[in-house]
Amino acid sequence: MKVVLLGTAAAEGIPGIFCNCETCLKALKLGGKNIKTRQQALIDNILIDFGADTYMHFLKSGRTLFDIENVLITHAHFDHFIPEEFYNRPYGMAYNVTSPKLNFYCNQAVYNRMKSNLDEGLLKNNYNIIFVKDYISFELEGHIITPMPAIHSCNEESHIFLIEKEGKCVLYCLDTGILKDDEMYKWLKDNNKKIDLIIFDCTKGALESNYYTHMSMSENNYMKEKFVNFGICDTKTKYVCSHFSHNCKMNHLDLVDAAKEYGFEIAYDGMELII
């Protein structure tokens, strides 16, 4: 599988869209990997989330979205889902797209946002909605996708995704707080899953706080140790931290230095991972 992290920041981006703090000013001055846009990923040709920076992500990648047919949506927050953009896909606004309809794998709240923002006829004729349920796997473009429950700050279901193909396994574990309950770990063990790559939510960077709906590196490490103890991960597993907020007060190299203690890699916009 080819995993491309198109964006690697939390909702405000780095630098924050309205921010003048020291961290944001330094990121703007340094540029490069210090500039982080809103979180989004492409796994082979399956898109994860459709947030506010989607258009820019595809411009930077040198392509459009004409051949994207399937989108996994973690939850309905604007930095992960912005339905107003979908007025630009129907015939008359876009030509020669691969599929007449774009398929969204999502929860009820995501669908409700689509219904409240899109004309009913446009929605019906151009988009398919497939509701996902925790631990109910489905096949998509040769991949097996399993949604799992996240812990997040929204009054709705929120999902992380296990994605498998040809014996390789990725856990996309973003926009969630630390998962302490053993339910997920037991499910993975009981179903003989071996994870090759975990992409962790690391909104808090190396800082510790009581903000329970996102994670820090030490909380990522807590989960890593549980995965290892359950036999789901081993020395070959790769761990990548992403979804950073400027509130962690760390630029890219600061994050890289802090991550060395745990054996983690730090994500940057455009990062490609092959497993």
Q: What is the pLDDT of residue 209?
A: 81
What is the domain range of residue 254?
2-274
Nearest to 193 by CA among 215, 157, 168, 221: 168
For residues 251-275, give the mean pLDDT.
97
Confidence of residue 7 (pLDDT cuts 50, 70, 90): very high
Confidence of residue 154 (pLDDT cuts 50, 70, 90): low
| Total-model pTM | 0.95
Residue 155's pLDDT band (cuts 50, 70, 90): low
The C-alpha R_g of the chain, in whole angstroms, comes to 18
Query: Quick one: what percent of the chain has pLDDT higher than 70?
Result: 99
How far is 243 from 40, CA to CA, in rounded Å?
9
Mean pLDDT score, 107-121? 90
In a 3-state reduction of DSSP, which class is residue 70? strand
Mean pLDDT along residues 113-123: 90
Helices assigned H by DSSP within 31-82: 54-60
Name the token pair of 114.
């689509």
**Based on the structure, what is the number of domains in the chain?**
1
Q: pLDDT (tens digit, 9 = 90+) per residue, 28-74?
A: 999 999 999 999 999 999 999 999 999 999 999 998 899 999 999 99
pLDDT band at 211 (very low <50, low <70, confident <90, very high): confident
The enclosing domain of 149 has a CATH number of 3.60.15.10
Q: Is the pLDDT of residue 240 over 90?
A: yes
- pLDDT recorded at residue 167: 96
